[in-house]
Amino acid sequence: MQKILVTGGAGFIGSHTCEKLLKEGYSVVCVDNLNDYYDPEIKKQNIDELSKYDNFKFHKVDTTNYEELEKVFKESRPETIIHLAARAGVRPSISDPLLYSKVNILGTQNMLELSRIYKIENFVFASSSSVYGNSKDIPFKETANVDKPISPYAATKKAGELLCSTYHHLFKIPITCLRFFTVYGPKGRPDMAPYLFTDAIYKGREIQKFGDGSTRRDYTYISDIVQGVIAAAKKKLPFEILNLGNHQTVSLNEFIETIEEIVGKKAIIKEVSKKQGDVDVTYADITKAQNLLGYKPTTNIADGMKKFFDWYLNNNADAKKD
Ligand SMILES: NC(=O)c1ccc[n+]([C@@H]2O[C@H](COP(=O)([O-])OP(=O)(O)OC[C@H]3O[C@@H](n4cnc5c(N)ncnc54)[C@H](O)[C@@H]3O)[C@@H](O)[C@H]2O)c1
Of the candidates 183, 291, 163, 309, the residue with the CA atom closest to the CA atom of residue 246:
183
Q: How far apart are CA 108 and CA 116, in angstroms?
A: 12
Residue 319 has pLDDT above 80, yes or no: no
Query: For residue 139, is the peptide bond before it cis, meaning its omega torsion is within 30 degrees of 0?
Result: yes
Tell me if 27 CB under 6 Å of ligand 1.
Answer: no
Report pLDDT digits (tens) over 135-193. 989 999 999 999 999 999 999 999 999 999 999 999 999 999 999 999 999 999 999 99
What is the reported pLDDT for 320?
A: 55
* Sequence ranges of the domains in the chain: 3-181+222-247+285-297
**Which pLDDT band holds residue 64 (cuts at 50, 70, 90)?**
very high
Q: How far apart are CA 11 and CA 276, in angstroms?
A: 26
Q: How far apart are CA 160 and CA 85, in angstroms?
A: 12
Residue 45 has pLDDT above 90, yes or no: yes
With the most atoms of ligand 1 within 8 angstroms of its CB, the residue from 5, 7, 31, 35 to mutate is 35
Q: Does domain 3-181+222-247+285-297 have CATH number 3.40.47.10?
A: no
**Which pLDDT band holds residue 277 (cuts at 50, 70, 90)?**
confident
Average pLDDT over every residue of 200-222: 96
Tell me if 182 CB under 6 Å of ligand 1.
Answer: yes
Tell me if 34 CB under 6 Å of ligand 1.
Answer: yes
Residue nearest to atom 12 of ligand 1 (CA): 84
Residue nearest to atom 43 of ligand 1 (CA): 88
Average pLDDT over every residue of 209-236: 97
Q: Are 245 and 283 in contact (CB under 8 A)?
A: yes
What is the reported pLDDT for 33?
A: 98
Residue 318 has pLDDT above 80, yes or no: no
Q: How far from 320 is each of 148, 202, 243, 258, 308, CA to CA, in Å?
A: 45, 11, 37, 21, 15
182 C-alpha to ligand 1 centroid (Å): 12
Report pLDDT digits (tens) over 77-98. 999 999 999 999 999 999 999 9
- What is the share, in percent, of the chain residues with pLDDT greater than 90? 94
In our burial notation (b when 16+ CB lie closer than 10 A, e otherwise), range 204-224 reads eeebebeeebebbbbbbbbbb
Tell me if 72 CB under 6 Å of ligand 1.
Answer: no
**Which pLDDT band holds residue 278 (cuts at 50, 70, 90)?**
confident
What is the reported pLDDT for 296?
A: 97
HEC profile of the chain: CCEEEEECCCCHHHHHHHHHHHHCCCEEEEEECCCCCCCHHHHHHHHHHHCCCCCEEEEECCCCCHHHHHHHHHHHCCCEEEECCCCCCHHHHHHCHHHHHHHHHHHHHHHHHHHHHCCCCEEEEEEEHHHHCCCCCCCECCCCCCCCCCCHHHHHHHHHHHHHHHHHHHHCCCEEEEEECCEECCCCCCCCHHHHHHHHHHHCCEEEEECCCCCEECCEEHHHHHHHHHHHHHHCCCEEEEEECCCCCEEHHHHHHHHHHHHCCCCEEEEECCCCCCCCECCECCHHHHHHHCCCCCCCHHHHHHHHHHHHHHHCHHHHHC
What is the reported pLDDT for 115?
A: 98
Average pLDDT over every residue of 101-114: 98
Q: Are 141 and 285 in contact (CB under 8 A)?
A: yes
**Which pLDDT band holds residue 11 (cuts at 50, 70, 90)?**
very high
Residue 243 has pLDDT above 70, yes or no: yes
Tell me if 14 CB under 6 Å of ligand 1.
Answer: yes
Average pLDDT over every residue of 259-275: 95
Of the candidates 176, 162, 126, 174, the residue with the CA atom closest to the CA atom of residue 288:
176
- Mean pLDDT for the chain? 96
Residue 1 has pLDDT above 70, yes or no: no
What is the reported pLDDT for 279?
A: 85
Which residues carry out catalysis?
Answer: 153
What is the reported pLDDT for 316?
A: 79
What is the reported pLDDT for 317?
A: 62
